[in-house]
Amino acid sequence: MEYQTTLIVLALVFGFYMAWNIGANDVANAMGTSVGSGALTFKRAVILAAIMEFAGAFLVGSHVSDTVRKGIVDPELFAGDPQAFVLGMLSALLAAGLWLQFASYFGWPVSTTHSIIGAIIGFGIVYGGMSAVHWDQVGTIAVSWIISPLMSGIISFIVFQIVLHRVFYRADPVEAVRKFTPYMVFVVLMIMTLVMVFKGLKNLHLDLSLSSALLVSSGVGLIGALLSYVLLRNYKSDDKEEEQQQARELYVARALQRSTKHLLRAQRAADSDTRDTIDSILELTQATTDTSSKRANLGSSRPEFRRTERIFIYLQILTACFIAFAHGANDVANAIGPLSAAVQTAQDGLVAAKATVPLWALLLGGTGIVIGLATYGWKVMETIGKKITELTPSRGFCAQFGAATTIVIASKMALPISTTHTLVGAVLGVGLARGIGAINLATVRDIIISWVITIPAGAFLAIVIYLTLGLFF
C-alpha cells in the first residue's frame, strides 16, 4: 500500500512537471505571434493564454489523452504486470519533461508531443519488444505530423488570399475590413464552439449530436458577429480623432526612444553601483519602447492600412484565444494521458483498458500549464514578442487561424500533433502568399532535424529512466 502511494505521488509530480514544461515553452510559441505583431501586450497575452489554455485542456483535452495513454502501447500487454505499466508511464513523463527542458535551453524547436510519443515508444520496446508498440497507430500519428503543418499552411494561404482580395485590394480597405470582420468572427467562434460541444464536454454531460451542435455553434457565431458589427458600426476611414491618436502614439514612441538612447549613454559612463540601477530601468524602458513603437507604426506607412490593421488587432486577439484553446486541447494530453493512466493503474492494481480520462487529471494538467506559463513561459513569450518585428496583425490573424483550425481538427480526431510546427507551417503559408517580408527557412530545417532527433532521444531517456526506476521498485 505504502509504495503504491509513493508511485501515485511520483506520477502526480512527474505529470505536473511535464505540464509545467508545456506551459513554460510551448505556450509562448503559440502566443508569441500575437505579442510580436503588437496585437496584445505581453501581460494581456499571458492572462489570455492562461484562461484559454485551461479551458481547452479541460473541455476538449480528453480525446488526445486517450490516444497517448492507450493508443501507442497496448495496455493489455501489461495485464499481468500492472506495476511495469505504471513505471513505464512514469519514466515516459520524466523523460519527455527532461528532454524538453534540455532542448528548449538550446532553443531547439522540439515538440512536446514528439517527446512524449518517443518516450512511450521507448518503454514499450524495452518491456515487450518491438511488437509491444502499435506501429500502425504510431504511423498514423507520424503522418499527421507531416500533414498538420501542410494543412495549416494551406488554410492560412487561402485565408490570406481572401483577406487580400476582400480587404487590401479594395478601394477603401478600412470600410472593407469593417464589413469583413463580422464574417470572420462568425467563422472563428463557430469552429471554436463546434469543437467544444460536438462530442466534447463529456465531463459536463454536454456532448451534443452533430445537428444540435451545429445549431448551437452557429448561434454563438451569429451573436459574436452581430456584436462585432455593432461595435464597428461607427468606425470610419477618415477620423480626425484617430489621426490625433496616431500622432500622440508616435510622439510617445519617439520620446521613449530618446530616453532609451540617453539611458544607454548613462549606462556606458556610470560606475558599477549606478549601472545596476540603470540596467533595471533600461530593461523596463526598452520593453516599453518596443511595444509603443510597434503600436505607433504597426509596420505601415499609410494611414488607411494602419487603420485597417487596427481592426485586425481585434481579429487577431480572437484567433489568439482560439490558438491557446486549441493548444490546451491538444497538448495537455501529453502530460495527463500518461499521468492518469499511471495513477489509475496504481490505484486499482490492474490495467484498465476501458478507463476514461478523469476530470481531476484534466484539471491538474490545465493548472500545470498555467503555472508553467506564469513562472517561466512569460519570459519566453516576451523574448519572442520582441524578436518578431515583421508581422502585422492581419498576417498574424491568418497564420493563427490556419494553425488553430488545424489543431482543433486534429484534437477531435484524437491525433497528438505539434502546435509549434503547425504554426510554423501556417506562417510559411502566409509567406508564400507574399505576406511577410522575410522568413528564415533555416527554422524549417531545424524543425526537421529536431523531429528526427526527438523521438529516439525521448525513447532512449525513457528506457534509461525505466531501468533505473526498476532498481527501486
Partner 1 sequence: MPVNAMARLFGRSPFVPLQLHLDKVGDCVEAVFALLERIREGDVSNVDETAREISKLEHKADLVKNDIRNSLPRGLFLAIDRSQLLEILGLQDSIADKAEDIGILMSLRTAKMLESLVEHFGEYIKGNKDALKKGRDVMRELDALIESGFGGVEATRVVQMVDAVAVSEHNCDIMQRKLMKQVLDHEEELSVGNFFVWQRLLHEIAGISNYSEKLANRIRMLLTLK
* Site for partner 1, rule CB under 8 A: 28-29, 32-33, 36, 104-109, 160, 164, 168-171, 173, 299-302, 305, 380, 383-384, 386-392, 420, 423-424, 427-428, 431, 433-443, 445-447
Query: For the residues of 107-172, what is the DSSP string, one character each?
Result: T----HHHHHHHHHHHHHHHHH-GGGB-HHHHHHHHHHHHHHHHHHHHHHHHHHHHHIIIIITSSS
Cell reading at 183: 464574417
Shortest Å distance, C-beta 389 to partner 1:
7
Cβ proximity to partner 1, 122 vs 435, nearer residue: 435
**Quick one: cell of 193?**
464552439
Burial letters 186-219, b for 16+ CB under 10 A, else e: bbbbbbbbbbbbbebbebeeeebeeeebbebbbe
Q: Among residues 162 and 232, whose Cβ is nearest to partner 1?
A: 162
- Of 70 and 295, nearer to partner 1 (C-beta) is 295
Neighbouring C-beta atoms of residue 106, cutoff 10 Å: 8
How would you write 202-233 as a 3-class SS string? HHHCCCECHHHHHHHHHHHHHHHHHHHHHHHC
What is the C-alpha separation between 192 and 326, in angstroms, rounded?
Answer: 9
Closest separation in Å from C-beta 443 to partner 1:
4
CB-wise, 337 or 393, nearer to partner 1?
A: 393
Enter the C-alpha cell of residue 210.
452533430
Residues 379 and 394: their CA atoms lie apart, in Å, by: 25
Smallest separation, CB 165 to partner 1 (Å): 8
Question: Which residue number, 175 or 242, has a Cβ lying nearer to partner 1?
Answer: 175
C-beta of 311: minimal distance to partner 1 in Å? 14
- With CA atoms as reference, report the closest residue to 395 among 309, 292, 307, 306: 309
Half-sphere exposure of 452 (CA within 13 A, CB side): 5
Q: Shortest approach of partner 1 to residue 173 CB, angstroms?
A: 8
Please report where in the chains the cell 518585428 appears, as a residue.
Answer: 389
Cβ distance to partner 1 smaller for residue 125 or 287: 287
The least distance separating partner 1 from the CB of residue 425, rounded to whole angstroms, comes to 11
Which residue lies nearer to partner 1 by CB, 116 or 167?
167
CB of 467 to partner 1, least distance (A): 31
Give the shortest CB-152-to-partner 1 separation in angstroms. Answer: 14
Instruction: Decide whether 173 or 200 has the Cβ nearer to partner 1.
Output: 173
Q: In this structure, are residues 327 and 61 in contact, taking their beta carbons and an 8 Å threshold? A: no
